[in-house]
């Protein structure tokens, strides 16, 4: 647990956010009909039937607790002394968390919707293993760049959902980034330590095999939905599963 002063400084800023969010949602709740509520075309104009009743209670309570938190924070030495996020982000720990968070956000918002799931996941797994198993800032930066460049391309060039499934340019770019990252991670590790960690040696294989097996198990074993069926690799797997493999197994 962090020191009391640090916690209370955080609590001060959190309380401000809580108060702001509560007030915003209390305003949004006030837009819901209270006395003139209607359900299924029938008047239900009693206050106690309103859809806004419980949210008013919740956001009202949050507002009270936000103010209480601020009072406690100020009483226990949490008075603001600069915005703590800036100093935290510049620290080694903050940098690692930010880098990991950016990679996760890029994976979910940019890569998974647009890029073949096997390729996107392979790139992100390898980036996380190299960037965070190696605790050096340079390794983290290499990992971040390897994910961010193709993710930014996919996001900018294929932004609208109508383009998520069609072109494969971003798939090829991710594949290139993955191959370059393998080389870069090995060179970086060798430069820094004179040898490559055994885990880094097998990381590319894990990175490809895991999403490959998972998506095949989900799609063909568990019969679940899987992301981006039209991706560069999965579309081929699915085609050959239904056109080549299953007829062959069934003896046709």
Partner 1 sequence: MMDLMLGQFSNFGISLWLLASDPVTYVYLIGAVALGILFGALPGLTATLAVTILTGFFGNKFPVEQSLIALIGAYVGAIYGGSYPSILLNIPGTAASAATAMDGHPLTKQGRGGEALGLTTTASVIGTLTGTFFLLLLVPLLLALARQIASPEKALLALFGILISGTLMSKDLVIKGWIAGLIGLAMAMVGMDPILSEHRFTFGWSYLLSGFMVVPVLMGCFAIPQILQGMREGPLAGAPPQLGRIRPQFGTIARNLPTIARSGTIGVGVGALPGVGEDVAGWVSYGTAKSLSDRPEEFGKGSLRGLLSSETANNACIGGALIPLLVLGIPGSPPAAALLGALMINNVAPGPTIDPMLIARIVAILVMASLTILVIGLFTARLFVSVLRLPQTIFLPAVLVLTTIGSYSVGGGINDLFLMIVVGMISYAMIRMDYPIAPLVIGVILGGMFDESLRRSLFLADGDPSIFVTRPGAAILLGLCLVLILSQLPPVRRTLARMTPRRRAV
* Residue 70 · residue 102 · CB < 8 Å: no
Alpha-carbon span 78 to 63, nearest angstrom = 19
Q: Is 46 in the site for partner 1 (CB under 8 A)?
A: yes
* Residue 145 · residue 180 · CB < 8 Å: no
Q: Is 132 in the site for partner 1 (CB under 8 A)?
A: yes
One residue of 30, 87, 135, 176 binding partner 1 per CB under 8 A: 135
Q: Is 190 in the site for partner 1 (CB under 8 A)?
A: no
Q: Is 70 in the site for partner 1 (CB under 8 A)?
A: no
Q: Is 195 in the site for partner 1 (CB under 8 A)?
A: no
Least Å from the CB of residue 132 to partner 1: 4
- Choose one: 130-138, 172-180, 183-191, 243-251; the region binding partner 1 (CB under 8 A): 130-138
Nearer CB in complex with partner 1: 61/192: 61
* Residue 82 · residue 90 · CB < 8 Å: no
* Residue 125 · residue 211 · CB < 8 Å: yes
Q: HSE of 106 in the Cβ direction (CA atoms, 13 Å)?
A: 27
Q: Is 7 in the site for partner 1 (CB under 8 A)?
A: yes
Alpha-carbon span 36 to 5, nearest angstrom = 49
Where helices occur in the chain by DSSP H, the ranges are: 4-30, 53-75, 84-90, 92-105, 112-114, 117-133, 137-157, 169-193, 198-216, 234-240, 246-249
Tell me which DSSP letter residue 115 carries: S
- Choose one: 97-105, 150-158, 179-187, 243-251; the region binding partner 1 (CB under 8 A): 97-105
Least Å from the CB of residue 239 to partner 1: 20
Q: Is 180 in the site for partner 1 (CB under 8 A)?
A: no
In the range 198-227, which residues lie near partner 1 by CB under 8 A?
199, 203, 206-207, 210-211, 214-215, 218, 222-227
Nearer CB in complex with partner 1: 109/248: 109
Q: Tell me which residue of 122, 107, 118 sits closest to 154, measured CA to CA.
A: 107
Nearer CB in complex with partner 1: 129/237: 129
Q: Tell me which residue of 112, 64, 143 sits closest to 215, measured CA to CA.
A: 112
Where helices occur in 158-233 by DSSP H, the ranges are: 169-193, 198-216
One residue of 5, 20, 27, 61 binding partner 1 per CB under 8 A: 61
Alpha-carbon span 95 to 117, nearest angstrom = 27
Residues constituting the chain: 252
Q: Is 241 in the site for partner 1 (CB under 8 A)?
A: no
Binding characters for partner 1, 143-162, by CB under 8 A (x = yes): --------------------
- The size of the interface with partner 1 (CB under 8 A), counted in residues, is 72
Instruction: Specify the 3-state DSSP secondary structure of 237.
Output: helix
Binding characters for partner 1, 17-36, by CB under 8 A (x = yes): -x------x--x---xx---
């Amino acid at each position: 647990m962090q020191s009391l002063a640090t916690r209370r400084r955080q609590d001060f800023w959190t309380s401000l956010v809580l108060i702001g969010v509560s007030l915003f949602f209390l305003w949004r709740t006030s837009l819901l009909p209270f006395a003139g509520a209607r359900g299924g075309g029938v008047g239900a104009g009693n206050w106690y039937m309103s859809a806004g009743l419980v949210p008013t209670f919740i956001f009202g309570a949050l507002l009270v607790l936000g103010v209480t938190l601020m009072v406690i924070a100020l009483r226990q030495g949490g008075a603001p002394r600069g915005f703590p996020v800036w100093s935290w982000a510049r620290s080694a720990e903050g940098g690692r968390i930010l880098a990991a968070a950016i990679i996760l956000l890029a994976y979910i918002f940019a890569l998974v919707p647009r890029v073949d799931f096997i390729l996107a996941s392979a790139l992100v797994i390898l980036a996380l293993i190299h960037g965070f198993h190696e605790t050096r800032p340079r390794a983290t930066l290499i990992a971040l760049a390897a994910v961010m460049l193709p993710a930014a391309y996919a996001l900018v060039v294929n932004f609208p959902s109508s383009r998520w499934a069609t072109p494969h340019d971003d798939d090829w770019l991710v594949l290139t980034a993955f191959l370059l990252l393998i080389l870069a991670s090995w060179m970086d590790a060798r430069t820094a330590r004179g040898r490559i960690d055994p885990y880094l040696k097998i990381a590319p294989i894990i990175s490809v095999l895991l999403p490959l097996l998972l998506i095949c198990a989900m799609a063909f074993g568990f019969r679940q939905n899987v992301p981006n069926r039209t991706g560069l690799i999965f579309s081929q797997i699915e085609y050959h599963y239904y056109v080549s493999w299953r007829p062959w197994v069934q003896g046709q």
